[in-house]
Amino acid sequence: MAVAARSGKKRLRSLLQGINVRKYIEARGGLFARGSIDPIFFTLLVALVVVGLAMLYSATYVYAYYYENSSTYYLKKQLFAVVLGFILMFAVSHINYRILTHVAAVAGTLVSWVLIGIALLMPDYNGTRRYIYGVPIVGQFQPSDVAKFALILTLAAILGENHDKIASKKPLQGRLAKLVNRICRRPVINESFLVIVPAGIILLVYAGLVALQSHLSGTVLMLLIGIVLLVLSEARWGWFALGGIGGGAAVFAAAKLGLLKSYMQERVTAWLDKDYDPYGKRWQINNALNAVGSGGFFGKGFSRSTMKHLYVSEPQNDMIFSIVVEELGVFGAACIILLFVLMIWRGVSIAIKSRDRYGALVVMGVVFQVGLQMILNILVATDSLPNTGISLPFFSYGGTAILVLLVEMGVVLSVSRTANVRKRL
């Protein structure tokens, strides 16, 4: 036993020597990021956080007072998460993102899959298992928030570090590959398979796990993030055609086999039939529409919403934007949407000037995630899409969500330090 243990230790030590952590870090430019953060991106970020907090308080104080006996209930918890998030954000922004590449991908994937696994073991809430309950400090916790970030890091690592293979048309040498290539008389099965197929499988596992949680909007968002990253990694269009056909067939098969759950069907019914169950399934959306419609061009003024007086249920979550429109009007809403758009543009700029593909993909993954979530949330709040639980970044209440979001922002800022956008654009 003792001999076996000793030889095992020896083997591990030699392995670690082989990796040589110091050398790895040095080769990737050191542990810390140098340069200054992009001030424009940072300003836009702070603006969104401040407006988001203000609107969260305005939308929720009635609801919080009625249900939690404290009008600042949601504001306080969110503010705590924001302060913590800013600290983490600055810390992350100082770390050289390039040393995260492999570690973050593997660790993030493992952690987020395990967390989703734990959530799947938790008691069911309204037919979904999206949360882990009883977490110290935060109380409840949504692993898919972490998983979105982990997915971005993982796909960016795989796709960014293997760009030459993605572009390569060198045929594979396996027996089956040779056969197919000979039949097609073209290198159909080439080196890009070695990157795209594992990336696709990882994406499908992520999406599949979230789907197991009965979290439809999360699943859709995962797939959209994956598609965005694949597009940006210059994957050939044929892959998207293949994915489109496969996905369409899967949805069709699921519908045929009756795998679509009844709550999904009911949501679609409630969306199509505007008179459906006005005091049940359509209560929240009808009141949200009344709120949006009552806004007018300049709105009723900050804090002057009447629909937040317990008409729009859970105004802290997905429907917060309806209160925003009621109070700030079309003008205020357009300004906020513009802030988001500017932030995405600045993110894209940072990515373009990024020193490597990995950084570029992470930054664009993050800002497009924010953009997609914003668009989907507003379309749901205006009854343009069926009501799926999708939150509005920076505005919706949710401790872990804002925490993870700010850490993501920290990564973007870290990339911006070396990208040095100011100089080049």
* Residue closer to another protein (CB basis): 225 or 405: 225
> Residue 99 interacts with another protein (CB under 8 A)?
no
> Residue 231 interacts with another protein (CB under 8 A)?
yes
Backbone angles phi, psi at 140, to 5 degrees: -115, 160
Judged by CB under 8 A, the residue of 13, 39, 208, 234 near another protein is 234
Other Cβ atoms within 10 Å of 143 Cβ, number: 28
Long-range contacts formed by 302-309: CB under 8 A, 24+ apart? 302/54, 302/58, 302/327, 302/328, 303/58, 303/327, 305/58, 305/59, 308/58, 308/59, 308/60, 308/62, 308/63, 309/62
> Residue 62 interacts with another protein (CB under 8 A)?
yes
> Residue 240 interacts with another protein (CB under 8 A)?
no
47-55, 121-129, 374-382, 400-408 -> range binding another protein (CB under 8 A): 374-382
Other Cβ atoms within 10 Å of 131 Cβ, number: 19
The DSSP code for 97 is: G
> Residue 209 interacts with another protein (CB under 8 A)?
no
Judged by CB under 8 A, the residue of 52, 108, 143, 329 near another protein is 329
Per-residue binding letters, 278-297, with another protein (x by CB under 8 A):
-x---x---x-xxxxxxxxx
> Residue 325 interacts with another protein (CB under 8 A)?
yes
* Residues binding another protein: number (CB under 8 A): 66
Q: Footprint of another protein on residues 153-172 (CB under 8 A)?
A: 161
- Return the H-helix or E-strand segment holding 172: none
* Residue closer to another protein (CB basis): 147 or 370: 370
* Residue closer to another protein (CB basis): 171 or 329: 329
Instruction: State the minimum distance, in angstroms, from the CB of residue 379 to another protein.
Output: 7
Cβ-based burial of 46 (10 A; exposed 0-12, middle 13-18, buried ≥19): exposed
Other Cβ atoms within 10 Å of 140 Cβ, number: 16
* Residue closer to another protein (CB basis): 234 or 273: 234
> Residue 95 interacts with another protein (CB under 8 A)?
no
The two tokens of residue 164 are 């030459």
Which residues have C-beta within 8 Å of that of residue 224, sequence separation ≥ 6?
372
Judged by CB under 8 A, the residue of 13, 34, 186, 422 near another protein is 34
Instruction: State the minimum distance, in angstroms, from the CB of residue 117 to another protein.
Output: 29
Cβ atoms of 355 and 418 closer than 8 Å:
yes
Instruction: State the minimum distance, in angstroms, from the CB of residue 311 to another protein.
Output: 4
Which residues have C-beta within 8 Å of that of residue 10, sequence separation ≥ 6?
none
Torsion angle defined by CA atoms of residues 282, 287, 292 and 298, in that order, rounded to the nearest 10 degrees = 180
The DSSP code for 14 is: H
> Residue 317 interacts with another protein (CB under 8 A)?
no
Other Cβ atoms within 10 Å of 113 Cβ, number: 16
Q: How far apart are CA 47 and CA 422, in angstroms?
A: 20
Q: How far apart are CA 281 and CA 277, in angstroms?
A: 6
> Residue 384 interacts with another protein (CB under 8 A)?
yes
Instruction: State the minimum distance, in angstroms, from the CB of residue 177 to another protein.
Output: 26
> Residue 368 interacts with another protein (CB under 8 A)?
yes
Q: Give the binding site for another protein (CB under 8 A).
A: 27-29, 34-36, 62, 66, 98, 101, 161, 228, 231-234, 279, 283, 287, 289-297, 306-307, 309-313, 325, 329-330, 333-334, 337-338, 340-341, 344-345, 348, 351-358, 360, 364, 368, 371-372, 374-375, 378-379, 382, 384
